[in-house]
Structure 1
């Protein structure tokens, strides 16, 4: 795979992805809307071991919901969403990257699903699965993640 690159708005935070993303998802939850300053979060999920970040110090992390398994990172200089670190028990460490931060988004997989669809700001005009509610959304994310991890083995 060709390395995918990305950066924040000002370029202070830069990263390389050395593995193909496990999957891509669209999240409509209010936290993703707030964090991304957008109607939804369009993210790719990558094993953290495959992510080279130029400077961990250049990212300011915060957890916006308990339990704090997802640390959302913004560039400490420009404040743009940059990367998110997901540490779920019994799973490998994962990094979530906003698609808007990837230099060549055409090289990314298509989205697999929508979650927290009940929070959407407008209807999505696609045929992707659309999950509403906390449990159904979390289960969809987890099941796609597990399948993707097993495909890699």
Structure 2
């Protein structure tokens, strides 16, 4: 199974209305996965997020009409016992959010892009925001599958818990940093 894509046709994308855009340098490797975490469910408004990511140095982002924020914890009552300790998201073992800066379009209100680590870090893009869906790399796995809203019947690896999900993402990211 191929884990990286260097398709030159996957270079542009935008939010739903096109007010914010991005351009990925042609030929750079990307990785893709499904995330079932509570933060992604809230940010995307869907049971799971199809995410493609790339090194920050390989993308140009035009987000003049986007607002970025980084939630520190889940909103009260959001978790309902899933992914939190005793149903209280503020006391959950892993209730703190990763330092992802989540960008939402000011015009259409849709999720646009997520960044972490500045120019030396990573950019996570909802895969639906790419112009050419058929040229994206294949989805490799499900992370935080334990928090799923609905079962998925595919043959992809399913990482249920925090540690295994984080390790799976770490391995995927490390593949991108071994490349130019």
How many angstroms apart in 1 are the aligned matches of 2:97 and 2:159?
A: 22
Residues 67 and 37 from structure 1, CA distance in 2 versus in 1: closer, same or farther, beyond 3 angstroms? closer
In the superposition, relative to structure 1, how do residues 124 and 3 fare at CA in structure 2: closer, same or farther (>3 Å)?
Answer: closer
Larger radius of gyration: 2
Partner residue, 1:94: 122
Q: Secondary structure at the match of 1:74?
A: strand
Counterpart contact for 1:22–1:149, Cα < 8 Å:
no
SS at match of 1:131: coil
Alpha-carbon displacement from aligned partner over 1:14-36 (angstroms, at most 9, x marks no partner): 11111434210110011101111
Asked if 1 retains the 8 angstrom alpha-carbon contact of 2:15 and 2:110, the reply is yes
Alignment partner of 1:70 is 2:111: no
Asked if residue 122 in structure 1 is aligned to residue 150 in structure 2, the reply is yes
Alpha-carbon spacing, 1:68–1:122, altered in 2? closer, same or farther (3 Å): closer
| 1:138 maps onto 2:166 in alignment | yes
Distance 1:96 1:27 in 2: 11
**Shift in Å at residue 63 of structure 1?**
0.8
**Of the candidates 11, 21, 28, which is equivalent to residue 18 of structure 2?**
11
Structure 1 segments (4+ residues) deviating >4 Å: none
TM-score norm. by structure 2 comes to 0.76
TM-score between both structures, scaled by the size of structure 1: 0.88
Specify which structure has the higher proportion of strand: 1
Distance in 1, Cα, partners of 2:98 & 2:64: 19
Give me the CA root mean square deviation.
1.9
Structure 2, gaps ≥5 residues long: 1-7, 73-95
Q: Say whether the 8 Å CA contact 1:63–1:70 is kept in structure 2.
A: yes
| Count of matched residue pairs | 149
Residue 114 of structure 1 deviates from its aligned partner by 0.5
Counting only pairs closer than 5 Å after superposition, residues 19-34 of structure 1 correspond to structure 2 as: 19=26, 20-34=28-42
Normalized per residue, the structure richer in helix is 1
Specify every segment of 5 or more residues in structure 1 that has no aligned partner in the other structure, as ranges: none
